[in-house]
Structure 1
């Protein structure tokens, strides 16, 4: 019997019709590299062959009686690939705008919890524009969705990678899956284990309270020294910081990884410093165009993988988070990068003082019924608009494959990740590297940000501004 970790289960409890907790990806494929001509049936059969023995794709949620404990994973005995892989076509004329409108609609559809928590939509007829602005060769697009209870950024990237190969006619990469389908226990066994878990909860609470109290003391000391990470509830309010709806909007952009690496090398910073600096510049330009630029810097939550340091073997999500200011109050891109690098060093040092499993430890106390009720009450009362802004947005930087990959024989030309949005922070920016490119995916609540494309299209310009500033300095 495999129980969901508290952190994995929390993503189930956080979910409402407006606050959907799946992660998405837009994968653009060149089907001309496939060993045999593309057909949807062959593609679906290939996906079926690759996933039918992989627990992350073939297990489903089973609740515990009376909601006394977190749910468990069990194998879906009626697993059917046709319930997970679907076929669509881009509306005419089949360009970028039609594609992101269609993907925005798909991102707003909840996953069926009676089945394994993933879907793929194979979208045909996409014709991206060429350098002259004319419709180019047709491409296949795969829009994927997996629930956050099943994957985090790193594990989601790994799952996609293991459906791919290094050559068009090679078998998919072998998947080393640490999870299992889990035994399907009786109702009595589930209830008994839940009661035992509830009885030992005070002991567990005492164990996590002491290091948490010590952390608070250390954080106060860091704040006095000016070396603490940015504090939550200190963000300025923007148009995308309020109660969200179930509608979604998407924007996609591309950057050259070599340009980012050159800036990193010339300035002694990191790729993450440069990416966050570009995000800060893009947000500054976007808000300034609309007359909404706050006088103080926007604050981002940045998820951090703790897979290398976590002591926990169980759980799909092994993440922590840090807060960082994006320098949207700084016009000069090079000055913003210097500020970002310094603040990120402080934030990383501060984060190292936090146990890798702290978030997972506290998530174990998320009571299924109480947690879900609290989320719905918070949304219904629109409390996100009545207290100080916790953070403005979430920004994730996910390492991707350094070499070209082939999905069922079709070369992956682009892979845009899309993370979930929350009440109070209706924008998510996720960045992934892929074979020498950096792909930027923005997902937003449509009412909060109707056109995220207007934001992400500032990324290439911000990269050029920063590159020129670095060159001028030398």
Structure 2
């Protein structure tokens, strides 16, 4: 049995309507037939490797009266209930694939079986898409990447953990309830002990940071907190999620990113932050919506040690930082991103690694779901300032070519979760000599998702031109 942390449970508790807290990886394989990568071949691969990946065998079990967070137990898996395939409608292109992925992102995973699904999509000329969806309560971004890699020919057999030996017996629900009841005082004590460290970093917790007085409290308790409140301007992305999602995806050159990095003596992550900030500036300028103040992003950061034995669940901390959307000059955008990311990383290191769980632990389990949904309802209501404008992630991927059943992997686009109140997510994953970019948003708030992707491409071109000019000691040509 695997007990969910309060952070893991939050992703389940917040679900309402068609909002599902789930990742989606879109892998494109080079194929010249419909058999190499198919529902049949992927079912066979999973059947061979399912024993190496405990989360794909986890069944959610709730505790009576919600006296404790849910648990995962081992269950038999009917792969036919999780794996499907289809052919994209004509014209079978990236837009058709995006429409299919958007529909998948707008459909919640059922809680009556393990929280994942896989869909093989045919029709793209010379390529087959594999769309793998996995719930955020099961894994964070780093662990999701490890599970996605399980399909590859070069998969790491080290995914096997002690959890592989979990019992398949149904847990006694009465015992779960009594255990939950007994744990309440323990959680209260633990929350009280963590409060002194937690209070000084509440402004790093979306969506708490937008509640009245939270940033002021953090400044009062923690001298390292910014003296000036970091408020996010209201944008079209600060809205409730509707019934549809919009997605876009593409790849940019990692070599170009490194050219900029080397020219200015900054990091790859600094360049990614500046690139996305500049792209958002372009997009909001084009629609006459650019605010005077910089947009604010939440950047999740893994806190799981490389040698940690527990590879699943969520082990993440929080960076909240402004993006350089208010600077017209590309050099200033790079400098602003570099300076703020250095400050934000230093601030994150001061916070407890368990910060995002610590703020949830004091909430009694019986009202945990109402609290999670209610808080998102408040921040998306327009009654308080937006906590952030978007989620931005940069995740390291494989530096070497990968394949599945002999078919070369050409790209793996990451699609991550969006929430009521901050309905835009940009996630970047490195692969070989490219950065694969996945954009997810509310269907109405991000109707121009492909334009935003093109803005990212154009922004990188401008940053490269600026870097070349910097190397030559003059203006970019």
Q: TM-score, normalized by length of structure 1?
A: 0.90
Deviation at 1:315, TM superposition (A): 5.5
Please tell me the root mean square deviation across aligned C-alpha atoms, in Å.
2.4
Task: State the distance in 2 between where 1:212 and 1:41 align.
Answer: 49
Aligned to 1:56: 55
Task: State the distance in 2 between where 1:19 and 1:88 align.
Answer: 24
Q: Deviations over 1:92-151 (max 9, x none)?
A: 120111111111111111101111000111001113xxxxxxxxxx21001111000011
Aligned to 1:294: 291
Q: Which moved more, 1:434-443 or 1:184-193?
A: 184-193
Q: Which moved more, 1:324-333 or 1:190-199?
A: 190-199
Deviation at 1:261, TM superposition (A): 1.2
Deviation at 1:356, TM superposition (A): 1.1
Q: Does 1:145 align with 2:133?
A: yes
Tell whether the 8 Å contact from 1:428 to 1:444 is kept in structure 2 after alignment: yes
Aligned to 1:457: 454
Tell whether the 8 Å contact from 2:37 to 2:405 is kept in structure 1 after alignment: no
Task: State the distance in 1 between where 2:335 and 2:355 align.
Answer: 30
Deviation at 1:456, TM superposition (A): 1.1
Q: TM-score, normalized by length of structure 2?
A: 0.89
Q: Can you give the 5+ residue segments of structure 2 that lack an aligned partner in the other structure? A: 202-217, 472-477
> CA 1:162 to 1:309, structure 2 compared with 1: closer, same or farther past 3 Å?
closer
Q: Deviations over 1:160-185 (max 9, x none)?
A: 1132124xxxxx43132446153342
Task: State the distance in 2 between where 1:311 and 1:156 align.
Answer: 15
Task: State the distance in 2 between where 1:393 and 1:265 align.
Answer: 28
Match 1:173 to one of 136, 152, 156: 156
Deviation at 1:203, TM superposition (A): 1.4
Q: Does 1:95 align with 2:83?
A: no
Tell whether the 8 Å contact from 1:277 to 1:336 is kept in structure 2 after alignment: yes
Aligned length: 452
Task: State the distance in 2 between where 1:99 and 1:214 align.
Answer: 45
1:91-130 counterparts in 2 under 5 A?
91-127=89-125
Match 2:358 to one of 342, 358, 361: 361
> CA 1:3 to 1:277, structure 2 compared with 1: closer, same or farther past 3 Å?
same
Task: State the distance in 1 between where 2:199 and 2:324 align.
Answer: 31
Q: Does 1:470 align with 2:474?
A: no
> CA 1:38 to 1:394, structure 2 compared with 1: closer, same or farther past 3 Å?
closer
Q: Which moved more, 1:45-54 or 1:426-435?
A: 45-54
Q: Which moved more, 1:200-209 or 1:91-100?
A: 200-209
Q: Deviations over 1:404-427 (max 9, x none)?
A: 111232211000001111111110
1:447 alignment partner, SS class: coil
Q: Can you give the 5+ residue segments of structure 1 that lack an aligned partner in the other structure? A: 128-137, 167-171
Aligned to 2:244: 247
Task: State the distance in 1 between where 2:308 and 2:129 align.
Answer: 38
> CA 1:345 to 1:58, structure 2 compared with 1: closer, same or farther past 3 Å?
same
Aligned to 1:337: 334
Task: State the distance in 1 between where 2:158 and 2:121 align.
Answer: 26
> CA 1:291 to 1:459, structure 2 compared with 1: closer, same or farther past 3 Å?
same
Deviation at 1:309, TM superposition (A): 9.0
Aligned to 2:198: 212
Aligned to 1:202: 188
Task: State the distance in 1 between where 2:161 and 2:175 align.
Answer: 24
> CA 1:368 to 1:245, structure 2 compared with 1: closer, same or farther past 3 Å?
farther
Deviation at 1:54, TM superposition (A): 2.1
1:18-417 counterparts in 2 under 5 A?
18-32=18-32, 37-77=36-76, 79-127=77-125, 138-166=126-154, 172-178=155-161, 180=163, 182-183=166-167, 184-213=170-199, 216=218, 220-223=222-225, 231=229, 234-308=231-305, 316-377=313-374, 383-417=380-414
> CA 1:214 to 1:423, structure 2 compared with 1: closer, same or farther past 3 Å?
closer
Task: State the distance in 1 between where 2:470 and 2:242 align.
Answer: 45
> CA 1:92 to 1:303, structure 2 compared with 1: closer, same or farther past 3 Å?
same
Aligned to 1:169: none
> CA 1:416 to 1:383, structure 2 compared with 1: closer, same or farther past 3 Å?
closer
Tell whether the 8 Å contact from 1:242 to 1:426 is kept in structure 2 after alignment: yes
> CA 1:26 to 1:329, structure 2 compared with 1: closer, same or farther past 3 Å?
same
Aligned to 2:421: 424
Deviation at 1:214, TM superposition (A): 5.7
Deviation at 1:375, TM superposition (A): 4.2
2:158 alignment partner, SS class: coil
Aligned to 2:14: 14
Deviation at 1:266, TM superposition (A): 1.7
Deviation at 1:75, TM superposition (A): 1.2
> CA 1:430 to 1:165, structure 2 compared with 1: closer, same or farther past 3 Å?
same
2:438 alignment partner, SS class: strand
Q: Which moved more, 1:378-387 or 1:108-117?
A: 378-387
